[in-house]
């Protein structure tokens, strides 16, 4: 009896955590200089027209568009390195893409200092990407301080989410929506 319960529990746990696995890229990106036309009916086209080199493509291709930081920190840790590496890869495939790095802070800091700290974080990520071979002229930085939190709570988990640098691909120089 106990063994059945245990098995059920383990099975349920596996099912529950199965959804949390990291999304892998479906297909390997084509080598540089490959065919440009990939029509909507292309093999394995999937959901609608994801224009390669676009922001949508970026979000689907890279590990994450966000790297997080420790309290009052702005250094790139191991996890962040992995994420930025994947971003650097994508950027190298699409040399015309330009990005903005947004630096953000949690609410537990004064307003002006957080503007400076957000700038530090954005620049930290930028410097890493530049070191990985991305031209600095393709990257702009902006700090939002604590003005645009991602998580609204006043707890440590929310704060950890808010301490971040977000990479936003600028599509065609158009606006990215509200400021």
Partner 1 sequence: MIRTLLALSLTLLAGSAATAQQLPTPDVGDPAPAPAQAPAAPANGGSELVVDVTGGISAPLPIAIPVMPAVSVAQTAAGSTDALGRQLAEIVTNDLRNSGLFTPLDPSRLRSVTFPEVTAPAYDYWGGTGAQALVQGYVRANGDGTLTVGCYLYDVSSRAELSRQGFVVSPGDWRRAAHKCADTVYTRLTGEGPYFDSRVVYVSETGPKAKRIKRLAIMDQDGANHRFLTNGQTIVLTPRFAPNQQSIVYMSYLGRIPSIYVYDIGSGRQRLVVRNAATTFAPRFSPDGRYILYSQATGGNTDIYRVSSGGGAPQRLTNAPGIDTGGSYSPDGRRIVFESDRSGGQQLYVMNADGSNQQRISFGGGRYATPVWSPRGDLIAFTRIAGAFRVGVMNAGGGGEKLLTNSWQDEGPSWAPNGRVLMFFRQGRGNAGKADLWSVDLTGVNERRVPTPLDGSDPGWGPLRP
Of residues 60 and 138, the one with the C-beta less far from partner 1: 138
**Residues found in the chain:** 179
Exposure of 33 in the CB half-sphere (CA atoms within 13 A) = 0
Of residues 55 and 63, the one with the C-beta less far from partner 1: 55
The answer to whether residues 100 and 141 touch, using CB atoms and an 8 Å cutoff, is: yes
By the rule CB under 8 A, 112 interacts with partner 1:
yes
Of residues 31 and 178, the one with the C-beta less far from partner 1: 178
By the rule CB under 8 A, 157 interacts with partner 1:
no
By the rule CB under 8 A, 148 interacts with partner 1:
yes
By the rule CB under 8 A, 50 interacts with partner 1:
no
Stretch that binds partner 1, among 16-24, 54-62, 91-99, 111-119 (CB under 8 A): 111-119
Contact pattern for partner 1 over residues 69 through 88, marking x by CB under 8 A:
---x-x--------------
By the rule CB under 8 A, 58 interacts with partner 1:
no
Select the residue interacting with partner 1 from 55, 104, 149, 167 (CB under 8 A).
149
Nearest approach, Cβ of residue 2 and partner 1 (Å): 42
Catalog residues that contact partner 1 under the rule CB under 8 A. Answer: 72, 74, 107-113, 115-117, 119-120, 122-124, 127, 141-144, 147-150, 152-154, 175, 178-179
């Amino acid at each position: 009896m106990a063994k059945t319960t245990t098995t059920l529990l383990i099975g349920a746990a596996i099912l529950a955590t199965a959804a949390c696995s990291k999304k892998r890229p479906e297909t390997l990106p084509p080598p540089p200089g490959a065919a440009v036309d990939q029509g909507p009916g292309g093999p394995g086209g999937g959901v609608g027209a994801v224009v390669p080199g676009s922001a949508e493509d970026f979000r689907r291709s890279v590990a994450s568009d966000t790297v997080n930081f420790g309290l009052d920190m702005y250094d790139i840790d191991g996890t962040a390195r992995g994420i930025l590496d994947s971003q650097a890869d994508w950027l190298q495939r699409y040399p015309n893409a330009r990005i903005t790095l947004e630096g953000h802070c949690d609410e537990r800091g004064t307003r002006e200092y957080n503007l400076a700290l957000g700038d530090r974080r954005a620049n930290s990520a930028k410097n890493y990407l530049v070191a990985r071979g991305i031209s600095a002229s393709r990257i702009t930085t902006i700090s939002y301080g604590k003005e645009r939190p991602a998580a609204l709570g006043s707890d440590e988990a929310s704060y950890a989410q808010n301490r971040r640098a977000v990479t936003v691909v600028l599509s065609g120089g158009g606006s990215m929506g509200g400021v």
